[in-house]
Structure 1
Amino acid sequence: MSTGIPVRWVLSQPELNLALKGGSAGLGRNITMALTSELTEPQQWLSGGELVLTTGMGLPLSGADRLRYLTELDAAGVAGVGFGVGLSHETVPADLVEAADALGLPLFEVPLPTPFGAITKKVMQRLAEQEYEKVLRASRAQPRMTRAAIQGIGAVIRELSAALSATVVVTGADGEISDSHPGRSGIEVAVRIGEFLSTRGDGAGSGVIHTSSGQIIALQAITAGQTVHGHLAVVTTTPLSSVDQVLLGHASSLLALDFEKPARLRIAQNHLNSQAIAMLLDEAGDLETLWRHLAPAADRSGRVRALVLWCDSPEAAVRVTEAVDEQLHPHNRQLFARISGDRVAVLLPGSDTEEAAEQLLAAMPDEVRAAIRAGLSAPHLLRRFATAIEHAELASSAALPGGRPLELASLAGQTLLTLPEAQRMLGAISEAMLAPLADYDERHGTDLIASLRAYLEAHGQWETAATALGVHRHTLRSRVAKIESVLGCQLDVARVRAELLLAIIAHR
């Protein structure tokens, strides 16, 4: 893991002739650099891991001060102290040895013939060798991890675990641990990762976590573009070196590719589904093959519903389609959709309800959902999906922005009043057919249009229509005769009555 040389390694180098005097309990401490200091209080210049070499020129005189001197070095994280004899001191002071034993801070004697430079050079050479070994180990581990990627996530983290001699953990996008090596990670690791990620609003947390048991968790987000697939964590007792972090980043990239494979396959599948719909609508290509390709869109009875989403722009239509796919994906359902300008037609199983269609839209951002007009068709046989799309499109044109998906069947009795195209047509018919009556009413102060409406809505029943108007039936007969005279038509003809009723409805 992190670079460092145990103090015992330095003592084991025969050409240096070093002799341990005290603090044997700390021989496993790691040295990260060697330096010479004759300062009385060198600790303020140290950051930890140093091997301090001194001749004792600045060493305090009293035993209490010498204990403080070593205590402060120990507190600064010094790995060991080399005391040069033969200059200011003939031997290592006994009270210094006693203090080193009490602290567990290695203290060794450096004989006069051994220059401090030789010790520093030995340490720095070994540190350089370690760095080279790490780079060499990483250069060998990277291709092994790359080859392991063919076998999946488990193989990649096994190689990373072996390369770093550490526990490796993989979490999903929800922060739950999905895999680890070797074996299962501790409960504390899972809890700390979950706590760390919960503080990150973007879900892409990367950083270092320290546990109460002394473990260090290096966390790396597994991302592809803006998508966070999960996290890769390395659990150790020492910080990762820069080379170790390179291996962690390489493994994270490999896992991102593995997570992306299903997503890319799904994108390709969605594109093929969209192409099949388009070709069937255009009756182009091998139609029977296309029908077989579209078969999974139907329910067990071979029926489909069409959901048409009318958006405020073609760009919004693309985003809405992606959002619908995200809702279908967790249920292992394919997306059968076709974008045409600012409208999206989605084929759903015929067994899907209006509530199921609404759920596809519920997870969309409020500002996107508020602009969508959704229309839903009744179930149709798969081979009549074009009719289903047409019906859903008509329903969407009458739906309210942000409202629930509107079923065309629910417009029975008001379809012609709801659809914008029908409204425009009926308005023109109303103006053309009723203009003579409106003009007559205005000039003579009569109410022939209201009388005509009552007569038509009563299906020609004189008593019913007269009662609704509050007049005698003979009065109504006289008014109907005048209507026929003004319009030049006969109201006993069913088709005439039907056209006039539509005109009256549009006028009202």
Structure 2
Amino acid sequence: MSDPAATPVPPTPPVPLSALLAREDLGLRQLAGPAAADVVVHWAHASEMADPFPYLLGGELLLTAGVHVTRAAASSAGTPGRPASGSGGYFDGYVSRIVAAGGAALGFGLAPVHDTVPHALVAACEAYGLPLIEVPPRTTFSGVARAVWQLMAQARTAELRRVTEAQQSLATAAARPDPVSSVLRRLARHVDGRAVLYGPGGTRVAEAGRDQPEGVDGALTELAATVTRRASATATDTAAGVHLAAYALGAGQGFVLGVAAPHRGRGDHTLSSVAAVLLTLLTGDQLSSTGAARSAALVRLLLGATPQDVAPLVGTGRTVVVHARPDAPAARPPGGGRAAAPADPADPAARRVAVGPPGVPDAVAASALGAALGSALVDLADGVVRILLPDDRAPGPQPGWTLGVSAPASPADWPAADTQAARALARARATRAPLVRYGDRPGLVDLVPRDAAEAHARTLLAPLSPALAETLRAWLSLHGSWDRTAVALSVHRNTVRQRIARCASLLDADLDDADVRMELWFALRQT
């Protein structure tokens, strides 16, 4: 007798037998076997063969009217209250063959052959653990089959909806400022388990989800190491009743996604594969020929080359500098307190992930932002991401980020462009704008010779320290708003008031005068 568990079943969503019994239009009734809630049916098949074994694939609800037992079982069927004795009876052999073929359940139709279900058949099904269903005369076998397919279609639709919504959720998570942690949290929630990102050497880079039984974490780590050693794409295992899966990210990167879930649904593999693709993009080195050239440019700068010397390796034409920070700092209250990073309260995994300070991106998030903008020249320092971008790739707003973009600059003016991007970012954060560009259009400063303008600015602003000058610049750019200036400079509003009062005293100027403000703004633009 073959093992029913090893019998292949159709790749279709299973239907709980209890759902079929709940259909009032069918009027089905279970007479024997295990509880219907624990049995699933993959399809329905009608047959009057005395030995159905060669015609079953497994997982079927086999339907029969008992035509094949009219004479053959006459001597062994027994009578009501006295079923046939011995294990060699007709129904005993018949039911054992169905079980051996992997049949899920047996449906016995009443009329026109039998008025009742033979008692010997009930006893055999109970002995072999095969659910026995009574089909009333008014219900046709085709009606039962149609009901099975309808339930399968409903299950398939629900599964596709779940997978589609989960894929969209994962894609949204990948666009957050902390993309790796967000993707892991979402995946863990969708599979109701745990998701772990392993780095080269088997180190745990990030993880999220429910705590697992003892021994599961170790087994998952070993499975991830197996994927790395064998250079295989995926691997699966089971530990303490928990289903484990490992997915290699990319080719030769050394990163592995590990997933542990108590129940392995049909859509879970698809979701894990989608998460693996997203994590591959987020952790990839992206070393193309262009990336190699840019890496060479960085090396040459470190070895003493000038920006003009390495500009051809970075790209032709002028360049813009982008400064970026996650949106979280913009939610900081004007009083100077630091607001907490937003979290999904419905996600229990969110409370189990160790993350950095609110609004501070990690290296992976910075790299992901650079990839989204089309540049590998990314620098992360002091919670600010700086990106060098060719002028022909005009950056647009990025979900979850606040951007400040400099004016196009030649290599000799890159330091000035870096300052411009920082000022644009400060203004964007203060005004809650997703993106601010520095110098979108030419102004009066372009009408004055640069040397003369700079000399005038140095003389006019000489009494001010750099901190006071920067505070005055931010205050003027934000139309004298104390709260917005405090947000832009990350200081208390009272500090802004004190500094502006100090500026007015040192300059001996009335800062409420529009002409004075215009002259000071002109001078500040030159520094």
Normalization by structure 2: what TM-score? 0.47
- Give the number of the structure whose alpha-carbon radius of gyration is greater: 1
Normalization by structure 1: what TM-score? 0.48
